[in-house]
Structures are given as structure tokens and as C-alpha cells.
Structure 1
Amino acid sequence: MRLLFRYVLPLLIALPIGFLLLYPQVVRCLRVSRSDDFRAVVVSKQGAPVYVSQTATARQQAQLRKHILTAYDRIGRFWGSKRGQAVLIYCPQQADYEQYCVGGEGAGCSLGTPWGGSYLVLGPDGNNADVIAHELCHDELFTRLGWWRVKRQIPQWFNEGLALMVDYRFSSPAIWEHPDSTQALAPPIDEADAMPFVQRSVVKLSDLETTRDFFGGDYAHVMLAYQTAADEVARWLTTVGRAGVPALTNAIDAGRDFEDAYRELERAKRQPPAR
């Protein structure tokens, strides 16, 4: 008992404090409900309140609501149900986005905490159904498996590749579904508008296991990492089907190793039915 109070208890106190000191953006996310710079908007009963910057125009707010509802629907169909309750924070100004997102890069980012809090921050280019669905997919994985298990057991290539399956800037909806109604009514995507992948030598999945592996290089490396992850998860999904996604997370949640469960689901689908 004395050992507990002398060493373990101080460590348990120091860890969350240290985490917050290293990531001041998380502190701002935790306090966004008290900020006069944002107002809470209820978009759907399916999700937590959305905090919208006071600088957002009425048109931006209307677009945001439409895009969030499209993303919620897409996530529910992809996973079978939507469980994530991440807090969304919309920052139409880059300066605000940098205050809430580590690095301030990209159209959106996900921030998770070891104690279960989850925040999805959308930047100036984040008012988009694909961006929101991408970030919500990350949150869904965290919700189903927990922050620690995702960080320790799920390779980053799978985390990102999975999110790319609901991000139609990088993948085709035909991989797992018919297009959303909003996509079906839209004109065909011009190749010039698509997100470009930089051509470079192939990178192995084993070199994309951690966040540092995935995002630690230059722009060309990150784009190649995205392409590699998307190609692999798309290949796997065409075999196991949409039901393979919750089946995999359920297996991992029950104690299975990621690699074993991932390959076993694929093998089971490839085996001919018993006569």
C-alpha cells in the first residue's frame, strides 16, 4: 500500500497532466464549451454538440449541417451503426484552426485522449462531407477499441486506410456501397479536382505501422503512404465485405491479435463453402 501511494499514485496523476502540457490544443478542445468564440449547435441526435466559430457565415453553417448529416449517414452504413460521440469543432479561419489542431495542417484532424475524450477539428477546408466522414471513421475506431488499444495494436496504415474508404476524395464508393445520394446527383469528378497521389517507389505496410512512420516524411511520402493504405484496405474489403469491419473490431475487442483476425477474416471468405 505504501508503494502504491509513493510511486503509482503520483504516476497516475502525472500522466494526464503531462499529456495536457504536451498538447495545449487538447486543453483548448476541453474548454471549447466555455469559449465565447464558439457557439454550440445541435445537428443531430446521433452526435454530440457541434461547436461553430462565431466567424462562420450563415451559408457556411448551412453547408456544415448538410455535410455532417451526410457523413453521419455514411459512417452508420459503413460500420453498421454509429457509436462515436466525438465533439466537432469548426474553425473557418486558419488562425483558429491552428489553436485547436496540432500543427494546423490538413483539412481536419482527430484528437483523442487516454481517458476517452474525442474531438474532431475542422479547418477552413474541412466543411466537406468527405473530410468529416474521414475523421468520424477514426473516432469510430477509437470508440469501439479504446485509445490505448488503437495506439498499441492497430497499425496506422489500417487506421488511415479504413478512413479513406469513406473519404471519396481518395476512394470510390463502389468499393463497399452505392454512392451517397449527394454523390449520385453530383456531376462526375474531374480528374483535375481529385486529390493527387505522388508517384514514387512502393512502400511496404510494415514501414507504415506507427504514426511517425506514416506521417514522418515529406509530402510525397505521406501521399504514398495514403495510397498504399487505401489500396490494401480496399483489397481486403472487396474480399471480406462491409460486415468485415465491425467483425474485425469485435474480434480485437475480444482479445484477438489484429494481424491474426485481419488475415483470418479474409481466409474465411476465400475458402469454398463446405459441401
Structure 2
Amino acid sequence: MRGNVFIRYGLPLLVALPISFLVLYPQVFWCLIIGSSADFRLFTSGTTSLYVNRTATANQQLQFRQHTQIAFDRIRRFWGDKRGRAILIYCPKQIDYQRYCAGGEGAGCSVGTPWGNAYLILGPEGNNTDVIAHELCHDELFSRIGWWRVKRQIPQWFNEGLALMVDYRFSNPTVWEQPDSSEQTSPFSEEMITPSFPQRPILTLTELETTRDFFGGDHTHTMLAYQTAADEVARWLAVVGRAGVPSLTNAISAGHEFNESYRQLERKRRKRIDKQEDAKSTR
């Protein structure tokens, strides 16, 4: 009897769920079948697959592969190693980019599935090292703690703030490239022109917990969200150092909550710094 009930009710549900997911998120479907698309040319970089739309010129193809390699090296320095296995998809034309990235906004986006597939889509403005490194950083977080934990535990301000640390369009590389320096540096690059936000209240981290919180407002809100996220993660990194990033993801993978692990790493590091300062003062 139980077997008949499962066949009658359970089996159709198991079939309907993934179909419904793909109907609601068609970009996932297009990413899943990228390997059989005649519109893309496949390249490889180590263990990473790079799909480049055939509308890309020879120069665009070369630049994309070069920018990708530099971005890979940046990720290895930041995280200590590279574990992400996302497939990269480059669409030099907006019409193609919109098919693979919902809404077609921004220079790049990440697409992940609950069963572990990950894709990084780069649009017409995404063929540069900073955009690629930004998206790769999202993939590293996804790869190290899993899709479910990222969606359920990681606040969006941390996910974006972390990616901004390797995105030198918005951040200063000395924030983490020189982790032993005691000099306080701004998280934002000198080249970045920070706009003024008249009559806009400062955003708090609790207002940037979800994707909707972060990106649900107008352009000014999103830029303020990026600034708030970058400021906080840069501040935290200045205390815990570059090693704090993998330490945090390891703790979350072991079952610890994000908020407590995030604060605990900072508390431990501050105690160590205080002891070192006390030791210096008694010499």
C-alpha cells in the first residue's frame, strides 16, 4: 500500500519539483545545457570550463582568457587556494547575456543550484579581471560551505562585501594584500569616485541581510549597500587578517552559526593583539 501511495503521489511530486524550478528560473535551464549549445566555444583553464559565445572577436576571446587567469591568481592569494569549480560563460552581446542572467543587469552574475551546479555569467561589461574575480569570490564561498548554508546563514552584506575585497573597481588592494601592515587604509580604491548621498540615512547591516534588502532599492541604495558592506568586511579583515576568511568558512562548515563565528574570530584576534602590545610595553 505504501508503495502505491508513493507511486501515486510521491513520484509525480519528485518529477514536478525540478521542472517547476526550471520553469521559475529559466536561466538555470540554459546554463545546464550550455555544453550542447552550438552558440558557444569551449576553452579550459586548468579544471575550469570557459564557454565563450561565438560572437566574441578573437581579441575578446584572448582578453577573456587572460583576465580569467589573473582573477584565478587573485582568488588563490585571497583564499589561500582555489576550490571553486563554477563554469564561466561569457556573452559579449546583451541579448545573450539576458538569457543566462536574469534581468541582464550588471556586468556579471552568479547562478547556482541546490544540487551543486554553479555558473558565472559575464556580460558585455564583464570581460575584465575585477568583475571575474568578484564573481569567483562568490563561487568560493558557495563551494566551501554549500548552496544551502549560503542561502540560509550568510547575510548578503557579507557575501557582497567579501567579493568587493577582490574587486579593485571598488576596493583598495592594500586592505588584504598587505595583511601584516598596521597602517589603516580605506577599503575603497583611490580611483573610485564616491558619490555623495544627500538626505539618505546610513544603512545598517541588519538592513542588508537578504538579497532583496541589498538590491531591492534604487541605484543609490545599492551603491550605499556596497559601501556599507565593503566598510564592514574591510574593518573585520583588518583585525582577523586574511586567514580569518577560510577560518570562518571552516567554522560554518563544521556546523557553527555565522554571527557567532564572525564575532568570535574577531574577539580572539583582538585578545592576541592586546597580549602582543602588552608584551611590547613591558620590554
Q: Is TM (by shorter chain) over 0.5?
A: yes
More displaced 10-residue stretch of structure 1: 47-56 or 107-116 = 47-56
Per the alignment, residue 15 of structure 2 pairs with: 13
Cα deviation, residue 65, structure 1: 1.1
Distance in 1 between residues matched to 2:86 and 2:204, nearest whole Å: 32
Per the alignment, residue 185 of structure 2 pairs with: none
Per the alignment, residue 33 of structure 1 pairs with: 35
Tell me, what secondary structure is at the counterpart of 2:168?
coil
Conserved? CA contact 1:198–1:220, under 8 Å: no
Per the alignment, residue 181 of structure 2 pairs with: none
Tell me, what secondary structure is at the counterpart of 1:144?
helix
More displaced 10-residue stretch of structure 1: 25-34 or 244-253 = 25-34
Per the alignment, residue 130 of structure 1 pairs with: 130
Distance in 2 between residues matched to 1:12 and 1:177, nearest whole Å: 47
Give the letter for the 2:82 counterpart.
K
Per the alignment, residue 155 of structure 2 pairs with: 155
Give the letter for the 2:207 counterpart.
D
Tell me, what secondary structure is at the counterpart of 1:176?
helix
**1:115-142 per-position Cα deviation (integer Å, ceiling 9, x unaligned):** 0000000000000100000000000101
Distance in 2 between residues matched to 1:267 and 1:252, nearest whole Å: 17
Conserved? CA contact 1:198–1:224, under 8 Å: no
Per the alignment, residue 242 of structure 2 pairs with: 242
**1:149-206 per-position Cα deviation (integer Å, ceiling 9, x unaligned):** 100000000000000000001110000005xxxxxxxxxx874xx3645523201100
Per the alignment, residue 56 of structure 2 pairs with: 56
Report the RMSD for the aligned CA atoms in angstroms. 1.9
Conserved? CA contact 2:172–2:190, under 8 Å: no
Give the letter for the 1:36 counterpart.
A
Tell me, what secondary structure is at the counterpart of 2:121?
strand
Distance in 1 between residues matched to 2:250 and 2:237, nearest whole Å: 16
Identity of paired residues, percent?
66
Cα deviation, residue 109, structure 1: 0.3
**1:92-126 per-position Cα deviation (integer Å, ceiling 9, x unaligned):** 01111111101100000000001000000000000
**1:223-258 per-position Cα deviation (integer Å, ceiling 9, x unaligned):** 111110000000000000000000000000000010
**1:8–1:75 Cα change, 3 Å:** farther
Give the letter for the 2:48 counterpart.
A
Cα deviation, residue 9, structure 1: 4.9
Larger Rg: 2
Conserved? CA contact 1:197–1:224, under 8 Å: no
Per the alignment, residue 98 of structure 1 pairs with: 98
Give the letter for the 2:155 counterpart.
P
Per the alignment, residue 267 of structure 1 pairs with: 267
Give the letter for the 2:73 counterpart.
D
Per the alignment, residue 145 of structure 1 pairs with: 145
Distance in 1 between residues matched to 2:53 and 2:139, nearest whole Å: 22
Per the alignment, residue 206 of structure 1 pairs with: 206
Output aligned runs, 1:187-206, within 5 Å: 191=191, 194=192, 196-197=194-195, 199=197, 200-206=200-206
Cα deviation, residue 62, structure 1: 1.1
Aligned residues between the structures? 262
Per the alignment, residue 182 of structure 2 pairs with: none
Distance in 2 between residues matched to 1:8 and 1:212, nearest whole Å: 33
**1:41–1:208 Cα change, 3 Å:** same
More displaced 10-residue stretch of structure 1: 77-86 or 13-22 = 13-22
Tell me, what secondary structure is at the counterpart of 2:85?
coil
**1:30-66 per-position Cα deviation (integer Å, ceiling 9, x unaligned):** 1111111101012x21x42100010111111111111
Distance in 1 between residues matched to 2:10 and 2:263, nearest whole Å: 38
Conserved? CA contact 1:113–1:147, under 8 Å: yes
